[in-house]
Amino acid sequence: MKALYLLSVWLHILAAITWIGGTVFLVLVLLPVLRKPQYHSILGELVHWTGERFRWVGWICLTLLVLSGTFNVAYRGIGWDDVWSGRLWRGPFGRALGIKLFLVAVILLLSALHDFVIGPRATAAWQEDPTSPVVRRLRRQAGWIGRVNLLLALIVVALGVMLVRGWP
């Protein structure tokens, strides 16, 4: 059973690295480069196809994170009774876990909004008229959601460290 737990922890870390690393690449590398005037002609198409590809990677990672995280907590002896009775939330571990779970829920909601609502609307609007104010507004919204999600993900990583290393 310990080997399965270690595999789960490894998958959890790998999924976090992949999702956060991909997000960092998009936010700090790809999108700033594409804002240069010489890339404006391919901006919309490249962002669309990169987003389509990363959406699959991202949602696989997020699913792995939820599944492996659930297994990891259960392996550590935390059951539904601990959750519903309130015992879990009383100590530093429970507080860190509670904040982490809340932020993960926010990340999932923001990711769904970004990937399945704003992103497709931005693509459709861009295909109609790349210079439209609607496109600029939707791209700005998508960008802010991406940045907020990245910040939340980094906080979640810090909370994960606190879960295994202790609350400061």
Structural domain range at position 7: 2-165
Q: Tens-of-pLDDT digits for all 168 residues of the chain?
A: 899 999 999 999 999 999 999 999 988 898 889 888 998 888 888 888 898 899 999 999 999 999 999 999 999 989 888 889 988 888 898 999 999 999 999 999 999 999 999 989 988 888 888 889 998 899 899 989 999 999 999 999 999 999 999 887
What is the spatial distance between Cα 10 and Cα 6, in angstroms, rounded to a whole number? 6
CA torsion sign for 157, 100, 112, 9 is: positive
Q: Count structural domains, the chain.
A: 1
- pTM, rounded to two decimals: 0.88
Contacts of residue 116, defined as CB under 8 A and 6 or more positions apart, other chains included, come to none
